[in-house]
Every structure is written in structure tokens, then in C-alpha cells.
Amino acid sequence: MTDLESMAARLVWWKAPAESLRDRAGLLAQVMVYGTPDDLAVARRCFPESAFRDVLAHPPPDVVLRMIKVEHTLFALPFAFMGMLLAARGWPPWRTVGWIVVAMVGARSAAMGWNRLVDRRIDAANPRTAGRALPAGEVTPVFVAGFVAASAALMVLAAWRLNPLALALSPVALAVLLLYSYTKRFTWASHLVLGLALAGAPLGAWIAVRGDLALPPLLLAGAVLLWVAGFDILYALQDLDFDRRSGLFSLPARFGVRGALWVSALLHAAMLGLLAWLPYFYAPGPGLATAAPGPGAAGAGTAAAGLGLAGAAATGPGLGAAYWVGWAGCLALLAYQHWVVRPGDLSRLDAAFFQANGALSVWLFAATAVAILWQ
């Protein structure tokens, strides 16, 4: 086996060396991120400098997906779908669903790309984040800036295709999404700003379907804000020492581990309270298809009276037992997070962040879908 084949087998272990060598861009991306100085010397003997420049200018798709943490879409997308179902009182036309997904992809990609661009020097100095695509040299700042612009344009396009209110509010949504990346420089409340950014998912989906605002999506958006802020505080515990040394603001850096855990628990308790209130402000009514013109039309807001959702409160719970099963699941998953993350033991932080929160959003959406579609 040649030096090049040996390197390919080690760095791209899930493929045969011959297959890795056929994907030159993918192999070089792995070398630039995970390779040793000897690996880089082997690659430079075997490939021209132009090949390295091409990888930087046109990174492989998996590099971009890793840069924006595409798997974290699991946190926000189920809540967007939940807002969509609540607004439509059922499943809206696929055209509306499709443009909501496009808007979500564009918004989240723009936000994550901008965060990576703005924080590239901070990420490079932090051992935990030094391997991200920008500080590792997998992509260039120019590429990321172009990616952010294209993603933002995609979100605005989707808003335009949905309804006038969605289009009018799209700059506000983008401003909140992009503002978050600066907040750790001046306020320990940055976790709440991140929560506000993700709270736009259910609120935006409601607007996409109906073209109006009402109390139920605001309650759901508030719950998402509190949920995200709570788990982001937990996630920030792993950077506590780095944030203090670097002069960055976070709630753990300001109040310490115990204080951060208490605030996170209080935020999650408040989130459960808002979710418990939601059914009492969501009145039963006919589906959107029978109450008004289809979602996405300019006149979608006229459905408010038919759905009975524009008032301050309903006469009783508008969601059935399935929703409360979802609520109970949220309670259990939040309790699990605060049980495994303790002042003297942060070793299970990743399990609390990725597994529990991903499961929570999917579980609550599934329960709400059952309550609305099959009640």
C-alpha cells in the first residue's frame, strides 16, 4: 500500500482507499482538518496546489453541512411544523409545507453561517471549536459570506411565496437571527436572544399558513424561547473558563455553574407553564381548508374568525389527551437533563443537549399532530 493509500485508509476509514482517491476534494478536506503534518506533506507531493485552492473555493457538501450543524435542525423544525398544524387546524396544502421548509432551511443556514463567520477568531482560540470548518481552513470567509447571502435570499423568496405579512416580517426575522452572533460580546443574556431567534420557527409557520398573528403562536413561541435559552445555558457550561478568560459574556461565566443550573431549571419550568396554557387559548374549530381560502393566499388572514383563534381565550382546552401525553414527555425529558447535568459532573452534557432536546421537540410535535389530525 502506498503512502497515499495508507493515509486515505486512515483518514477516510469508512471508504476503501481506491474510492477515497477518486473523491479528491473529499480526501483533501479530511487531510486539511484531521491530517498530521506528514499527511499534509504526502498530499502536497501527490496533488497540485490548485487542488487545495479548489477545495477551499468549492468545499464538498458534507463540509458545509457540518459547518451549519444541519442535525441541529431537529430542534426548531418540529416546532415550526407544530405552529403550522395549529394554524391550519390540520395539514395544510403541500405547497405551503414546502415553502415553510424552504424558509426554515434558508433562515437556519444564514444564521449558522453568519455565526461561524463572525465568531471565526473566537472559535480558533477555543480548543472545543478550533476544528470547525472556518478556523480549520476547510472553507474561506468569502465562501461563507456568499453562502449566508444566498441562504438569506432563499428565506426571503420563501416568505414572498407564502403571503405579504411573511414577506414584510422577513427582514425582522433575519435581523434577530444575525444579531445573536454579536450578543456574547456585550450581554450574558445572549441565551435569551438565541431563544428569540428560534422562537421565530412556530411564529413564522403560523404566519405562513394564516397571514395573521394570534395568542396561541405567541405562547408557543414563548415556550420555545424559554426552552432554547435554558438548554443553551447548559451547553455554555463547557465554555465557562474560556469565556471568562476571553472576556465573553454568558450566564455561566457571570453566575457560575450552580447559578446557571438554577436559572436553566427556572426557564424550563416556565416553558412547561406556557405549554400547559396553550390548549386553553386554542379554541376548537374547523380546519383551514373549510374556513377560508388556502394557506399562502394573500387573504389567508380572513380565516381567523372561522378558526375561532383570534380572541384572547377559548372556552376550554382545544387539544385532546394526546397533547398532554406530549407535555408529560417534555416534563420527563427536561427532568432528565437537569438530573444528568450536575455542578460536579458535566460529563453527560452532550447527552442532555443533543439526545434529550432532539427527542423533546419531535415528541411534542408528534403528540400535537395526533391531537390535531386524529382527534
Instruction: Give the Cα separation of 256 and 347 in Å (integer).
Output: 17
Look at residue 237 in the predicted model and tell me its pLDDT: 92
Q: How confident is the model at residue 184 (pLDDT cuts 50, 70, 90)?
A: very high
Instruction: Give the Cα separation of 201 and 195 in Å (integer).
Output: 10
- Helix (H) or strand (E) run with residue 358 in it: helix 357-373
Cβ contacts of 175 within 8 Å, gap of 6 or more: none
Look at residue 182 in the predicted model and tell me its pLDDT: 97
Above 60 in pLDDT, residue 312?
no
Cβ contacts of 287 within 8 Å, gap of 6 or more: 88, 89, 90
Question: Radius of gyration over alpha carbons of the chain, in Å?
Answer: 23
Q: How confident is the model at residue 349 (pLDDT cuts 50, 70, 90)?
A: confident
CA distances from 103 to 162, 168, 200, 278, 327 (A): 10, 14, 11, 25, 27
Q: Where are the alpha helices (DSSP H) in 119-214?
A: 120-125, 133-136, 141-162, 164-183, 190-210
Paired residues of 360 in beta bridges: none
Look at residue 135 in the predicted model and tell me its pLDDT: 79
CA distances from 203 to 85, 87, 264, 270 (A): 12, 10, 23, 18
Three-state secondary structure call for residue 364: helix
Instruction: Count Cβ atoms within 10 A of the Cβ of residue 312 and give its class: 0-12 exposed, 13-18 middle, 19 or more buried.
Output: exposed
The whole-number average pLDDT for the span 191-215 is: 96
pTM over 0.75: yes
Above 70 in pLDDT, residue 146?
yes
Q: How confident is the model at residue 346 (pLDDT cuts 50, 70, 90)?
A: confident
Three-state secondary structure call for residue 342: strand
Paired residues of 345 in beta bridges: 342
Report which of 138, 127, 125 is spatially closest to residue 35, judged by C-alpha positions. Answer: 138
The amino acid at residue 112 is M
Interior/surface letters 110-131, b for 16+ CB within 10 angstroms, e for the rest: bbbbbbbbbbbebbeebeebee
In the block, which residue shows the cell 450578543?
183
Above 60 in pLDDT, residue 245?
yes
Paired residues of 282 in beta bridges: none
245 close to 367: Cβ distance less than 8 angstroms: no
Vertex 130, ends 126 and 131: CA angle to 5°? 150
Instruction: Give the Cα separation of 112 and 69 in Å (integer).
Output: 8
Above 70 in pLDDT, residue 352?
no
Above 50 in pLDDT, residue 296?
no
Quote the mean pLDDT of the chain.
Answer: 85
Q: What is the pLDDT of residues 32-79, one digit of tens each?
A: 666 677 887 888 889 988 887 777 666 666 666 565 565 566 678 999
Identify the top-confidence range among 80-84, 113-117, 135-139, 336-340.
80-84
Phi, psi (degrees; rounded to nearest 5) at 345: -150, 100
Look at residue 355 in the predicted model and tell me its pLDDT: 78
For the chain, how many helices (H) and strands (E)?
21, 0
Instruction: Count Cβ atoms within 10 A of the Cβ of residue 366 and give its class: 0-12 exposed, 13-18 middle, 19 or more buried.
Output: middle
Structural domains in the chain plus CATH codes: 3-57 (no CATH), 63-373 (1.10.357.140)
Phi, psi (degrees; rounded to nearest 5) at 36: -85, 170
Look at residue 73 in the predicted model and tell me its pLDDT: 62
Three-state secondary structure call for residue 186: coil
Name the percent of the chain lying above pLDDT 90.
57
